[in-house]
Structure 1
Amino acid sequence: MPEEPKQHQETDAPKTNPHLKNKPKHPKRRVGLWTYIISIVVALGVGVGGTYWFIGRAVSQQLSSMQQTNSAMKKIQSVYETISDNYYQPVNANKLANGAINGMVNSLGDKFSEYMDKSETESLNDTIDSSFSGIGAQVQKSGSYLQIISPIAGTPAKKAGLKPKDVIKAVNGKSVAGKTLTEAVNMMRGKVGTRVNLTIQRGTSTFNVTLKRAKIPVTTVDYKLVGGSQKIGYITVSTFSTNTAKEFKTALKALDKKGAKKLVIDMRGNPGGLMTAALKMASYFIKDGKTIMQVQARDGSAEKYVAGKKYDGGFKETKPTTVLIDGGSASAAEIFSAALHQSAGVKLVGSQSYGKGTVQTVTSFSDKTEMKITVAKWLTPNGTWINKKGLTPDVKAAEPSYASLTIVSKLSDLQADKVNENVKTFQKYLQALGYFKGTANGYFGTTTTTAVKAYQKHAKLTATGKVDKKTLAKVETELATKISDNDKAYDAAMKLIKNTK
């Protein structure tokens, strides 16, 4: 079973008591816990009337709780021993222990509390650290293969001389043809220090190159100057990771040097992350002493987190600002947005946010597994709990329905007479582009074939009615362009900020 854990978390938590050492082998007299508690009750009860009843009741409840816990632990131990001793095949002790832990965590009925194995733990830590182990190249689908958009400076890809427009045809001798973008990227990822061989096509020549995987940092903040003479700084934040607050501050300073007069901060699709990052970033915009958020413990007591040098280091941003949110804005993204809205008077634009109003801590075990559990509620500055409700924008501007469509994960699903979810998604792609007039039912029939032919003719492809890699890539690219061109929430935010003084 996992050893006693070490905890790393966003908020302080009680530490486990150390085991007692140097106990005498033969103690002269041992006073039992029951005797000790009963003695206290009697001592306090004599001559104090009602106090006796109150304290006696409290201790009785505590004893009952202890008895229930002791009984439950004995039952778990009994089940464990019964399975270990009597199951008709040998049982792995760690597997049994992990199963018991998973069962206890799952019984909470809280989707944000979970027990994670080694790979899940690594994935969570990569997200928190805003990094991953790989070669360090931004890639995109290009026909059957992957094309490098740009190698990241200082990474194995850059050091190996890989260039933009290089095509990755195979990884460790296995072709990436037919793989989804995610599948192909996962083929290149692996443990730090391990090697991966890539087959690269550059122009008319093909060659192999071996790279040593390394830890690759991921940028979580992007920014640019928009709005023409209005000079509006547009910042997108994809997640709240270890370096996000630092990247955000860098973006604010860079936009200031470029002459930005106002700001639009896009939190759409941001699933959250570290509470500490949200506190720092919110503090940049809020006057010292004003509340950023509150954290409410199980006993109902609430701790206020207020803006100040502790979080912002004295750096403040005072430009007129607007924040974009949507149904994908959750957790730390909501903490940041609510703080600016309620404590800095910033208007929110977009659609209702996700509504995750809880705080989790992560406990690390010696076998490199982790357990994440919910330990508290977080409240907005004015004390509102937005859990399962979300933040309501001041200006509602929903994105078109096709903006939230998922990707087609398997090209081979898109064939005549097949019925599946990928066909349904592709039908919705064609609907959004104006080529599919029927009902998106997931059946690749004559209506779908006709729509595919019409699109292929429009895209100057051979009108076969069959969905090949070129057709899918063209559809995806055109749909992405349409989504960008019809971003009503972005347009509403720009209109609002332009009229803000």
Structure 2
Amino acid sequence: MLENDDKKEVTENKKAKKEHRKVSIWAVIITAVVAIAIGAGGMYAYMYNEVKEAQTVSASMKKIQTIYETLYYNYYKKTSAKKLQNGAINGMIDALDDQFSEYMTKSEAESLNDTISGSFVGIGVEVQKSGNYIKVIAPIDNTPAAKAGLKAKDLITKVNGKSIKGVSLEKVISTIRGKKGTYVTLTIQRDGSTFTKKVKRATIPVSTVYGNIDSKNKTVGYIKVTTFSTNTAKEFKKEIKILRKKGAKSFVIDVRDNPGGLMNVAISMASMFVKYGKNVMQVQGRNGETEVYKSSKSYSGGFKVTEPTVVLVNSGSASASEIFASALNESANIKLIGTKTYGKGTVQTTQEYKDGTELKLTIDKWLTANGTWINKKGIEPTIKSDWPSVAYLAAINTDKSYQEGQVSKQVKKIQKILKYLGYFTGTSNGYYGSDTKDAIAKFQSDNGITSTGTADKATVIKMESKLSSKLSNQDNAYKTALKQLTN
């Protein structure tokens, strides 16, 4: 279960770990010697600023230590050193106002490592802290979370009926995870509605790439990339070779609801499509200096994909998947089909500590091949194409039944689903009239449910199941992709 944001999105982690050390007296002495050698004027100014910055940091640390000791020894009841330490660390990180920077406890760090390199038990959803609650970035394809209908931007407010308001991300993740085959109940807020989802925990597969030949167009290979993890590039290369042997002459690459992952993996995969020497992406540090990453044989391993290709994206395509998609679009003229992407334009690295905890910190911006920063803006597709609007309806609350004479938003959703399934021809206005009652009765009769005309829990669940089945054949973005490749 991907319960955290990207792990190590840069390959130069070791560089980042060495930055921002305190300036020692020896560093000052060495700097002074260099100043004499190359000219004291400019170097003196540099040395002065470095020492002044070090003094500022030192003064801040003394104040923090003083407050820490005051709280530890004088608070009216005993408190643990670890609690104060974690509070200080998390307080500093919260001051950054950056949802992607966080201090991870040992278990949380281990959880994140598992999602990058191994299998694990969970429900398969990428989440992040959002205010007092937890927000879904994207469910992983073919996992319990995806099958249960969780969607990007869903807000989890309760786990097993208990509010998670103010609860740490680690504790929420720990509660969501559990023994394989058991269930966890999530309370979700979506578009102003609140509902519950009971999700069965399972082993989340390590594989991140899945492929097949289109059932009707035997020369089109479809490849779904769920995350950009350690082995994704290797899996991707293998899948391309398999589909070529099966007759694929063109490819649809699907990174919809792909929450991202490792930056170097995205660069490696993009280099399989982008001509060597052309830009893949850029990374910009806090000083404004920009490093350009170009497609190369060292990234792709010499493996190239030259067949006609399109890429599917949506609002759940984030981070590394946006790096991949934008590189193919801007540097290989490959079309993006779907809806606007998530818009995560920052790079994180991790600092590991001896006790197993980790600090995940945003250290850079990343820009597209052309130098565009897509943070909080996303990437617009070349061709907009989406599921039918009914696919985005919030789930219906099954804690109550709905019957003739009622008026509510829940009834309006029922009417829209019935209309899409061909049972309702009236106006979806939220009023449960006789026409709605008749439509429900007909649906119940057709699906082996006692025909009462009342939309009870069993009826609503069956309706949502039928909706999901019908929508599986209404993937308009994929249909558009096929037209681009076969016309």
Which TM-score tier does this pair reach, normalised by the shorter chain? Answer: 0.7 to 0.9
2:302 pairs, out of 306, 314, 320, with 314
Instruction: Measure, in 1, the Cα distance between the counterparts of 2:398 and 2:184.
Output: 11
Is the counterpart of residue 383 in structure 1 residue 371 in structure 2? yes
Post-superposition Cα deviations, 1:276-304, rounded to whole Å, max 9, x if no partner, equal 22122111112222222121222222222
| Corresponding position of 1:11 | 11
Aligned AA for 1:185? Answer: K
Which residue of the other structure, out of 346, 350, 356, is the alignment partner of 1:368? 356
1:433 aligns with 2:418: yes
**Contact 1:8–1:363 (CA<8 Å) still a contact in 2?**
no
Paired residues of 2:341 and 2:378 also in contact (CA < 8 A): yes
- Aligned position for 1:263: 251
Uncovered stretches (5+) of structure 2, i.e. residues with no partner: 1-6, 125-141, 146-177, 188-195
- Give the TM-score normalised by structure 1: 0.70
Displacement of 1:346 in angstroms is 0.8
Q: For structure 1, which segment, 35-44 or 277-286, has the greater mean C-alpha deviation from structure 2 after superposition?
A: 35-44
State the one-letter code of the partner of 1:492.
Answer: T
State whether residues 113 and 372 of structure 1, in contact with CA within 8 Å, keep that contact through their aligned partners in structure 2: yes
* Cα distance in 1 for residues equivalent to 2:228 and 2:8: 16
How far did 1:249 drift?
A: 1.3
Match status 1:185 vs 2:173: no
Give the drift of 1:42.
9.6
Between the aligned partners of 1:300 and 1:121, the Cα distance in structure 2 is 30
Distance in 1 (CA, whole Å) between partners of 2:264 and 2:434 is 52
Q: Determine if contact 1:402/1:429 at 8 Å carries over to the other structure.
A: no
Is structure 2 residue 484 aligned with structure 1 residue 490?
no
- Residues 266 and 323, structure 2, Cα contact 8 Å, conserved in 1: yes
Per the TM alignment, residue 334 of structure 1 is displaced from its structure 2 partner at its CA by 0.7
Task: Name the SS for the 1:115 alignment partner.
Answer: strand
Structure 1 residue ranges without an equivalent (≥5):
1-6, 20-30, 142-170, 190-214, 418-422
Q: What is the deviation of 1:481?
A: 2.3
Residues 427/71 of structure 1: CA separation in 2 closer, same or farther (3 Å cut): farther
1:420 is aligned to none
What corresponds to 1:279 in structure 2? 267
Q: Quick one: which amino acid aligns to residue 128 of structure 1? A: I
Q: What is aligned with 1:153?
A: none
SS of equivalent residue, structure 2 residue 472: helix
**Which structure's CA Rg is the greater one?**
1
Deviation at 1:461, TM superposition (A): 1.2
* Aligned equivalent of 2:137: none
Q: Which 10-residue stretch deviates more, 447-456 or 359-368?
A: 447-456
Name 1:132's counterpart in structure 2. 120
1:384-417, Cα deviation, whole Å (9 max, x unpaired): 2211222222112233333334556x743x3469
The 1-side partners of 2:184 and 2:62 are apart by 55
- The 3 A distance-change label for structure 1 pair 373 and 429 is farther
Distance in 2 (alpha carbons) for counterparts of 1:110 and 1:135: 26
In 1, Cα distance between the equivalents of 2:463 and 2:59? 61
Which residue among 96, 101, 116 is the counterpart of 1:108? 96
Shift in Å, 1:271:
1.1
Q: Distance in 2 between matches of 1:424 and 1:348?
A: 35
Q: TM-score scaled by structure 2?
A: 0.72
Alpha carbon RMSD of aligned pairs, Å?
Answer: 4.0
Query: What is the CA-CA distance between 1:110 and the residue it aligns to?
Result: 0.9
Is structure 2 residue 361 aligned with structure 1 residue 346?
no
Q: Secondary structure at the match of 1:485?
A: coil
Cα distance change on mapping 1:39 and 1:486 into 2, 3 Å: closer
Distance 2:224 2:143 in 1: 20
Corresponding residue for residue 285 of structure 2 = 297
Corresponding residue of 1:228: 216
CA distance in structure 1 between the partners assigned to 2:344 and 2:452 by the alignment? 47
State the alpha-carbon separation in 2 of the partners of residues 468 and 219 from structure 1.
39
